[in-house]
Structure 1
């Protein structure tokens, strides 16, 4: 269970006192070989009371860039706050991470089984433990993700509309883009919302890949959040973003009209005009060269980097309506 009383934080029956550092095992099940798996929860508490922030990554085992962001927060000491508490869980889906698989061994997507069940599937049990034994004590959550299936996401924060607190946190994080999107049923974000725990979902890069630019955006955003909450250690500074954040009300996927070999020629995060050439679809025989042209003006917030595409595959995610 999780509780905080007299400024003593109790997580999974372990007490963490002000000014203390603790590493707690978030264990749910052994491997099929009976080998134990210890998923560390790294907790840093300042002597002075303050907010409790949870940084998570690795809900999908193939999204290693999110894991790298949280790893660097820990390795550099950014997770050691001036006030309050920082909790880091770098790899939630350790079973998928071991094999670089998105899902759990039971075939389930962890981000579609929340809030989980104590006697459900393996993924459901992990979700239940996270929601019932960790999240209740925190004040906000920053969850790091990447694009999947070869699709490269521009660094962006995803939040639901009409939430002033989330808007303030998103502005503080200052990612290049903020995409307003609905909370998906049975997702980690939706379960946090129901518990009244604000979550920023960071998306950037793609699966099976560590990208220095994306990592830097995630780390800088985390520092800005901690500064916004008065928690950032005096050893660190939170840099101002080079450009203002673009808030996106609506967007659409542009899909391939034919199958073939695909190469994008436009850079991620670029602003394009309707009719501008974004890439080419060719065949292996040198007979076909189809230009993919922007169906509307907007920012490119996702690019499909797969070399082979089929008719109907998503190629680009383009903004259609910005917040004014």
Structure 2
């Protein structure tokens, strides 16, 4: 008989047959709602599907941040920058410690995100470019289980992340990004639920044939902080962002990206694409300050796997 155990933070689904232990999380940031719904739906349907192993689902990693409807908790901390946290620290630190302990006990890890209220993100599966080639290859295969147009491998050195905890514990891990801004997108939930089920098939935990999405745009970027979204395309001024490109659009270097207009001074600043490639990130909150990230471009224009070294 399958076992389903719930507590305030997690649901554990255990099959009769032995197999891997997989951790699925959402709600690291309190303003990323579709992944939370996807996690709840997975916890509800997996007991009827799981044949091998154990799946632990955490729908809201940081309930404090969710209560505030914010990326940060009431302590002003971003959980995705303070892992492995502190069990006797502030709210975000304690929740960071709890999810970090769960990651360290897993065999595989999936962390589901959106762009929150601030950004919109073209669908992608990402991973750290783990220095262990065996783990890195597993992460590549995990990412391919998700039906998304972009796959992105980035610098493995950043600290404080859920994935940096997985890196240090040698747990293969991927993260998902899709959507953001205001409103609720059912497509994000459906994509994540279907992708996790497909991954569990790949891991031999659910019966059925593993599906592979069409060839994605795939970039492995080894440059320092290559995955740091908040550092991309900093705004030259404060004002209102009027974007001139769409997510998923291919742009050329120097192409018009949008403009920043200050209605108080009447001054306008044109913004150009910093590289050629695919627009995967756009700011959703149109009021910006100088230095705010306006968007991001993956510097590839052809499908298939590409690599950028330092």
Bin of the TM-score, shorter chain as denominator length: 0.7 to 0.9
CA 135–276 in structure 1, closer or farther in 2 if over 3 Å, else same: closer
> Using the alignment, how far apart are the partners of 1:311 and 1:121 within structure 2?
31
TM-score, structure 1 length as denominator? Answer: 0.78
Verify the 8 A CA contact 1:64 1:207 in the aligned structure 2. no
> Using the alignment, how far apart are the partners of 2:182 and 2:286 within structure 1?
16
Verify the 8 A CA contact 1:64 1:208 in the aligned structure 2. no
- Aligned counterpart, 1:28: none
1:118-143 Cα offsets, whole Å, 9 max, x none, are: 333333232333333x3344210101
> Using the alignment, how far apart are the partners of 1:113 and 1:79 within structure 2?
36
SS of match in other structure, 2:232: strand
Verify the 8 A CA contact 2:3 2:47 in the aligned structure 1. no
1:66-115 Cα offsets, whole Å, 9 max, x none, are: 21221232344488312222111111111221231322333322222322
- Aligned counterpart, 2:219: 247
- Aligned counterpart, 1:3: none
- Aligned counterpart, 2:299: 320
Answering whether residue 248 of structure 2 is matched by residue 269 of structure 1, we say yes
- Aligned counterpart, 1:42: 11
Once the two structures are TM-superposed, the CA of residue 293 in structure 1 deviates from its matched residue by 2.9
Larger deviation, residues 42-51 vs 174-183: 174-183
Answering whether residue 72 of structure 2 is matched by residue 103 of structure 1, we say yes
The RMSD of aligned alpha carbons is: 2.8
- Aligned counterpart, 2:190: 216
Answering whether residue 29 of structure 2 is matched by residue 60 of structure 1, we say yes
Answering whether residue 138 of structure 2 is matched by residue 165 of structure 1, we say yes
> Using the alignment, how far apart are the partners of 2:73 and 2:146 within structure 1?
30
1:147-179 Cα offsets, whole Å, 9 max, x none, are: 245211222222122522222222233532222
> Using the alignment, how far apart are the partners of 1:150 and 1:114 within structure 2?
22
From 99, 112, 115, the counterpart of 2:84: 115
From 14, 24, 49, the counterpart of 1:80: 49
> Using the alignment, how far apart are the partners of 2:269 and 2:74 within structure 1?
40
Verify the 8 A CA contact 1:116 1:126 in the aligned structure 2. yes
> Using the alignment, how far apart are the partners of 1:130 and 1:256 within structure 2?
34
Structure 2 unmatched runs, 5+: none
Which of the two has higher C-alpha Rg?
1
Structure 1 unmatched runs, 5+: 1-18, 26-37
Verify the 8 A CA contact 2:35 2:188 in the aligned structure 1. no
Answering whether residue 130 of structure 2 is matched by residue 151 of structure 1, we say no
Once the two structures are TM-superposed, the CA of residue 261 in structure 1 deviates from its matched residue by 2.3
Once the two structures are TM-superposed, the CA of residue 292 in structure 1 deviates from its matched residue by 3.2
The alignment of Structure 1 onto Structure 2 pairs a total of residues equal to 290
SS of match in other structure, 2:176: strand
From 142, 167, 171, the counterpart of 1:193: 167
Verify the 8 A CA contact 1:78 1:223 in the aligned structure 2. no
CA 286–171 in structure 1, closer or farther in 2 if over 3 Å, else same: same
- Aligned counterpart, 2:96: 127
